[in-house]
Amino acid sequence: MKYFIAALFVLIAITLIYGIFFSDSHDSLAHHVSHLGTTLPLWSALPFAGILLSIAFFPILAPRFWHHHYGKVSAFWSLIFAIPFAVKYGNEACCEILEIYLLDYIPFIILLWALFTISGGILVEGTLKGTAKLNTLFILIGTMIASWIGTTGASMLLIRPLLRANAKRRYKVHIVVFFIFLVSNIGGALTPLGDPPLFLGFLHHVPFFWTLQLIVPMGFISIILLGLFYVIDRYLCIKERKESPLPEIDNSVENPCEEIETEPIRIRGLINILFLLGVIGGVLMSGLVHCGALVINGIHVPYQNLARDLILILMGMLSLQFTPKIIREANEFTWFPIKEVAYLFAGIFMTIIPALAMLKAGIHGNLAFIVRAVERPLDYFWITGILSSFLDNAPTYLTFLNTQLGNSFAGLPEAVAVNLLIEQKEIYLVAISIGAVFMGANTYIGNAPNFMVKAIAEENGIKMPGFFGYMLYSALILIPLFILLSIIFF
């Protein structure tokens, strides 16, 4: 990972030096996005499609290769785009690359890293039995806290104790699947801390507390899913009891589905709660405080954003310093999940540049056919959701936020356009937001925690369904609910 970090900083340094010493006018670069959006050819987005298809199919077709070389694949697609882009557009291209890393990728990864690190220092333990009531309670708690410690934080905090509680269960796949549905995705809908798409929205001027109004569609979906999970899990508990080879008299001793009293849950590493509060405070501060900006090659990096990132890094470092190693070892904490996310998203954010530029240009760009195809809020909900299922929901959210801004407020500064969108066409932002967050649950690649939870479950001996097997669960359970949701709300 150190080589990857070094390469990333070298790239940023080169673009920064190039911009400082070879730019004719920093001010003129403020309008480079609209120019790129009207001149970039459609095929310049092919590397973006390439990296996303690689994420979808390499783990299925060549899992060993992917496990060892996913970083190289990400770098390959990045360079396939970046080199011709820089040669053709010079400082304009370098400025755009620098902008997306400084304003989007680096804050995005810092937030994920901080939540992942801090949550990994909290250990939930105790003698738990995986009853239907306890499992439902675990998933309910995870759904409730995911908006405040992130879907990544909530998933990493609760998945291991939940699996330990169900270690003796025969049927466990459905527990992990519903956990991914609710804790790793839908539960993160209420704040920018909850899910990466909403954090990117926050970085692009969507107010921090605006997302709280998504509680109605979130509550609607969550209540139905929790009720359905309890019914399914209770049924399978009873089935396990009947299938048990043990004599009837011994079922109460060994059967994990028996409703018996459990010892109280113990939580270790509670000092990390303070660090989580520090993360929340840092993010809130960056949205509420405005104190100017550092101008780098025509790119305005707000000082409050720099302060936020430093606070998040500090909170993560304090967690590493003050959490006993034995707690992380008991949590089976490793850096692999966040490293994988960092590598892959570095490529995604690089290759998404032309798509975003074309969409920002509205009907004047080479993606005008997409701008014209999505008109109603219902259209935005489904197309954002479907693409979020396969193309990762964070960049998809950003893509269609820019589509709507380009369609309705082309040419206006982003901050002004977002405010007008909320004032005049708020239902579109609701549709984009819940489409990206909710439908990230449709596939393993829809949201970063999905893969993390799957990997941890498999480490614990659970034979999780493959890519298309998981999609069967989402098609049978989630899609009918999303249809009902779209009828009621759109």
The pLDDT value given to residue 24: 41
Measuring CA to CA, which residue among 230, 232, 227, 214 is closest to residue 485? 214
The pLDDT value given to residue 247: 45
Summarised one tens digit per residue, pLDDT across range 225-256 is 999 999 999 988 888 877 765 444 344 444 55
448 lies in which domain range?
A: 2-23+32-489
Q: What contacts 3, CB < 8 A, 6 or more positions away?
A: none
Mean pLDDT along residues 387-412:
77
Distance CA 221, CA 438 (A): 9
| Token pair recorded at residue 93 | 């291209």
Q: Annotate 408-439 with DSSP letters as a single string.
A: HHTTS-HHHHHHHHHHH-HHHHHHHHHHHHHG
Residue with token string 């970063």: 448
Q: Average pLDDT of the chain?
A: 81
Tell whether the model's pLDDT for residue 374 goes beyond 90. Answer: no
Please state the domain count of the chain. Answer: 1
Mean pLDDT along residues 8-27:
44
Q: Which long-range CB contacts under 8 A does 466-473 form with residues at least 24 apart?
A: 466/60, 467/56, 467/59, 467/60, 467/443, 470/177, 470/443, 470/444, 471/442, 471/443, 473/174, 473/177
Nearest 5°: CA angle at 189, between 155 and 471? 65
Tell whether the model's pLDDT for residue 10 goes beyond 60. Answer: no
Q: What contacts 235, CB < 8 A, 6 or more positions away?
A: none
pTM for the complete prediction? Answer: 0.75
What's the farthest any 2 CA atoms get from each other in the chain? 85
The pLDDT value given to residue 289: 78
How sure is the predictor about 402, in pLDDT bands with cuts at 50, 70 and 90? confident
Summarised one tens digit per residue, pLDDT across range 446-475 is 887 887 788 778 777 888 887 778 888 999
Question: Percentage of the chain surpassing pLDDT 70?
Answer: 87
Chain mean position to CA 268: 27
How sure is the predictor about 264, in pLDDT bands with cuts at 50, 70 and 90? low
Mean pLDDT along residues 127-139:
84
Tell whether the model's pLDDT for residue 427 goes beyond 70. Answer: yes
Tell whether the model's pLDDT for residue 68 goes beyond 90. Answer: no
Least confident range of 48-57, 124-133, 207-216: 124-133
Q: What contacts 396, CB < 8 A, 6 or more positions away?
A: 197, 384, 387, 388, 436
The pLDDT value given to residue 17: 44
Tell whether the model's pLDDT for residue 363 goes beyond 50. Answer: yes
Tell whether the model's pLDDT for residue 257 goes beyond 90. Answer: no
